[in-house]
Amino acid sequence: MLCGLGTWLPPKVVPNDEIAARLDTSDEWIRARTGIRQRHVVEPGTATSDLAVEAGLRALKSADTDQVDALVLATTTPDRPCPATAPDVAHRIGLDRVAAFDVNAVCTGFLYGMASAAGLIAAGVAERVLVIGADTFSTITDPDCRSTAAIFGDGAGAVVLRAGSPHELGALGPFDLGSDGADADLIMVPAGGSRQRSTRRPAAPGAEFFTMAGKAVFRKAIFQMAGSAQSVLQKAGLRLRDIDKFVIHQANARILNGVADMLGQPTGKFVRNIEQVGNTAAASVPLALTSACESGELRAGQRVLLGAFGGGLTWGSTVLRWPDIEIL
Ligand code: UT7
């Protein structure tokens, strides 16, 4: 049962013009090819955990609770390679001694995190779980690379899941999760892990930055998000027309249109906030949910399909009927 939702964006906004002023790109290109107008980025010294704490506190308040049994943090940009960032976030939120771990499924992290939390609840390990998706891609993208620096933004979003009946509003339907490691190289940070460090040689210049084979990823994102949506609907015994809103990873406005096309659904059923925040990786789905609730596009009782696609490659979907909750 989803019973709370909270988000946090770092205050600093970077409009397209600011990127165009230092890179060979333009506001027109970024808007036309991605749908993005601006993104939020962290100030020097701000880490992913700082955003995660803010979003987590808001989700707990939205769920009207200050206690959970576990915290799952989906992130690709942990504060440090070791240890996981989740225990630190739990401690700073005041959730001392709870189970806390990170999940890295890149932009699918939030869906993987929610599925892990739902599993902990189903297994009786936890009654309530705080799931946070938080990323600061501005810390791993090459500031001189126009095709990644223009796309990604920083942010965090969180939900509280609790045990409940499958008939209640907010009850999460089945999950569809998948991966294809054969294409692991399409989205990656080449250096910094054991593959490079075991060579005992310093990383090649620039190899610590995030890279993405944009065109190949674009096509796979459409194909896998559409396929995963169909799989989860089949598992749930639902049809496409039963879904009121699709809240899927905000990677590119053209990808949202492509998924709508492939599913034969009107683009108006696809929530979009990419214009304001860019691609925020693991924070993307909860940020889109918040924006849809705030605009009145998503209302209690509506059936919503959540979906994502990202590095790994990974993808995932779930369905639920939206609960009557206060968003913070
Ligand atoms: O979040 C997880 C998954 N991520 C995604 O799903 C992202 C998927 N990919 C995309 O959204 C798009 O592929 C991009 C937005 C990254 C790129 O858009 P595109 O329309 O696929 O462009 P492209 O990569 O095919 O590049 C076309 C041209 C290239 O120039 P040449 O080689 O044709 O001369 C690029 O260098 O556009 C160029 N280009 C740019 N030009 C101006 C790439 N980025 C920019 C830019 N400004 N920011």
For residue range 74-98, list pLDDT tens digits in order: 999 999 999 999 999 999 999 989 9
Q: Is the residue at 328 inside a domain?
A: no
- The pLDDT assigned to 138 comes to 98
Domain-ending residue, one of 132, 162, 192: 162
Residues 7 and 123 in one domain: yes
pLDDT of residue 99: 98
**Looking at per-residue confidence, does 284 or 173 come out higher?**
284
Alpha carbon distance 314, 305 (integer Å): 17
CATH number at residue 214: 3.40.47.10
Among 129, 162, 195, where does a domain finish? Answer: 162
- One domain for residues 120 and 25: yes
Looking at the 3D structure of the chain, how many domains does it have? 2
Protein residue with its CA nearest to atom 17 in ligand 1:
214
Q: Are residue 265 and residue 285 in the same domain, yes or no?
A: yes
Residues 16 and 125 in one domain: yes
The residue nearest atom 12 of ligand 1, judged by CA position, is 214
d(CA 114, CA 120): 10
Domain membership flag for residue 316: yes
Query: For the chain, give me the number of helices (H) and strands (E)?
Result: 11, 13
Residues with a known catalytic role = 107, 249, 279
Q: Mutate which of 34, 77, 147 to test ligand 1's pocket (most atoms within 8 Å of Cβ)?
A: 147
- Where a domain ends, among 162, 192, 208? 162
* Mutational pocket test of ligand 1: of 18, 19, 33, 254, the residue with most ligand atoms within 8 Å of the beta carbon: 33
- Assess whether pLDDT exceeds 90 at residue 173: no
Q: Do both 87 and 209 map to the same domain?
A: no
Burial of 118 (0-12, 13-18, 19+ CB in 10 A): buried
CA torsion angle 254 256 259 261 (round to 10): -70
Is 210 inside a domain boundary? yes
Residue 28 has a CB neighbour count (10 Å cut-off) of: 10
Question: Separation of 141 CA from ligand 1 center, angstroms?
Answer: 14
Q: Determine if ligand 1 sits within 6 Å of the CB of residue 107.
A: yes
Burial class (CB in 10 A: 0-12, 13-18, 19+), 22: exposed
**How far is it, in rounded angstroms, from Cα 271 to Cα 221?**
17
Is position 313 within any domain?
Answer: yes
Q: What is the spatial distance between Cα 221 and Cα 227, in angstroms, rounded to a whole number?
A: 10
> Is the C-beta atom of 214 inside 6 A of ligand 1?
yes
Give 136's pLDDT tier (boundaries 50, 70, 90). very high
Inside any domain, residue 157: yes
Q: Are residues 58 and 133 in the same domain?
A: yes
Answer yes or no: do 194 and 241 share one domain: yes
Q: Quick one: 16 and 147 in the same domain?
A: yes
In whole angstroms, what is the distance from residue 74 CA to residue 281 CA?
9
Give the position, in ligand 1's atom list, of the atom nearest the Cα of 19: 48
Question: Does residue 167 belong to any structural domain of this protein?
Answer: no
Q: Are 32 and 59 in contact (CB under 8 A)?
A: no
- CA pair distance 56, 134, nearest whole angstrom: 10
Domain region containing 176: 172-321
CA 158 to centroid of ligand 1, rounded, Å:
30
In this structure, the number of other CB atoms found within 10 A of the CB of residue 298 comes to 20
Structure tokens at 70: 């576990």
CA dist., res. 29 & res. 303, Å (int): 35
- 156 shares a domain with 55: yes
Same domain, 191 and 228: yes
pLDDT band at 178 (very low <50, low <70, confident <90, very high): very high
- What was the pLDDT predicted at 327? 86
Q: Please report the pLDDT score of residue 96 as a whole number.
A: 86
Q: Hey, whose CA ends up nearest to atom 36 of ligand 1?
A: 147
- Residue 26 CA: nearest ligand 1 atom is 47
Report which residue type is found at 156: A
The contacts of residue 11 (CB under 8 Å, 6+ apart) are 40
Q: Is 187 within the bounds of a domain?
A: yes
Please indicate, yes or no, whether the overall pTM of this predicted structure exceeds 0.85.
yes
Cβ-based neighbours of 68, under 8 Å, separated by 6 or more: 60, 95, 98, 126, 128, 129, 130, 160
Residues in the chain: 328
Residues 151 and 182 in one domain: no
Strand blocks (E) in 127-238: 128-136, 154-162, 172-179, 187-188, 211-212
Same domain, residue pair 155 and 182: no
**Is the pLDDT reported for residue 328 higher than 90?**
no
Rg over alpha carbons for the chain, rounded to the nearest Å, is 19
22 lines ligand 1 (CB under 6 A): no
Residues 236-270: pLDDT tens digits?
Answer: 999 999 999 999 999 999 999 999 999 999 999 99
Q: Does residue 326 sit within a domain?
A: no
